[in-house]
Amino acid sequence: MDEPKTSRFNATTLRAYIMIAVLGMIWAYFHYATDSIFLTPRNLSNLMTQMSVTAILAVGMLMLIVSGTSIYRVGSVPGFAGGIAAYAVTVMEYGLPVAIITSITVGVAIGIFHGALTAYLNIPAFIVTLRPLAWRGAVKWLLGGNTIPISNETFKAIGNENLPMTFGWILAAVAIAFVLFMAYRNARSVKDYGLGEANYTGELLKSIIPIGGIIAFIIVMNAYQGVPIPVLILVIVALWSVLTNSTTFGRYLYARSAETRMQPGSPASITKRNI
């Protein structure tokens, strides 16, 4: 029983190391090609801010792709929801919390509507998700085809400002504590399920690289202006990985075959999970 575990661990670790090595070589090339500018703290901070929006969308898409769902036009609904937030703050002069809650509520309602079309009416997801092109037209209608200038400083800070450096280290401490907790939990689960003795040392050793990455990330970000707020939002959203890896719902997503299609007689619980 131990040998297959070791093989899986080695294969997984090898793939991760290969990806990290390839990424490192790409970074090294661009650092050389840009006269040592690419890996400066300022540029890395800007890159992290720019990629956060795409990464946040990718976290949500993961749920659908893993469950075997084909989706298109992911950005149309978030664009519509963001337009509502900007309109609420600037034109209707709502407070920022109300605007954000309204925007999220609209996005969730549209998502449930699209999910219901797929789960209950058996409309293919890629057909349903082509429809959100209408939401792109809706946001143009809502904003009158113009760009709304945002005067709310707190609203602008969400996308443009950085966290204080001290808060960055507090964030690092919380992240490291979470990594250690998950390592302890993984080791303990082996014993709890009767699969062998808990290997706390092995799990701790596997945590060294993530912890080192967290510390290095904070050092680099603080060398410029601190951790960008969009990156903090990405970290919070990325905790969704706990749902996919440590819950029954997450295991259901991974277990569901990419070729699986909902049938009219499927149990209600399965339909709700697909929504």
Q: For residue 67, is it within any domain?
A: no
What pLDDT is recorded for position 69? 65
Q: For residue 35, is it within any domain?
A: yes
What is the rounded distance in angstroms from the CA atom of residue 86 to the CA atom of residue 90? 6
Q: pLDDT grade, residue 265 (50/70/90)? A: very low
Q: For residue 25, is it within any domain?
A: yes
Q: pLDDT grade, residue 263 (50/70/90)? A: very low
Terminal C-alpha separation, the chain: 38
What is the rounded distance in angstroms from the CA atom of residue 115 to the CA atom of residue 42? 41
Entry pTM = 0.70
Q: What is the pLDDT of residues 116-173, one digit of tens each?
A: 888 788 777 777 777 667 888 888 888 887 888 888 888 888 888 888 999 989 989 9
Range of the domain at 21: 1-39
Q: For residue 30, is it within any domain?
A: yes
Domains: count for the chain: 1
What pLDDT is recorded for position 274? 62
For residues 212-231, give the mean pLDDT: 90
Task: Supply the mean pLDDT for the chain.
Answer: 79
Q: Which residues contact 160 (CB under 8 A, 6 or more apart)?
A: 229
Q: pLDDT grade, residue 187 (50/70/90)? A: confident
Q: For residue 22, is it within any domain?
A: yes
What pLDDT is recorded for position 271? 60
Q: For residue 53, is it within any domain?
A: no
Q: For residue 9, is it within any domain?
A: yes
Q: For residue 28, is it within any domain?
A: yes
By CB atoms closer than 10 A (0-12, 13-18, 19+), residue 74 is: middle
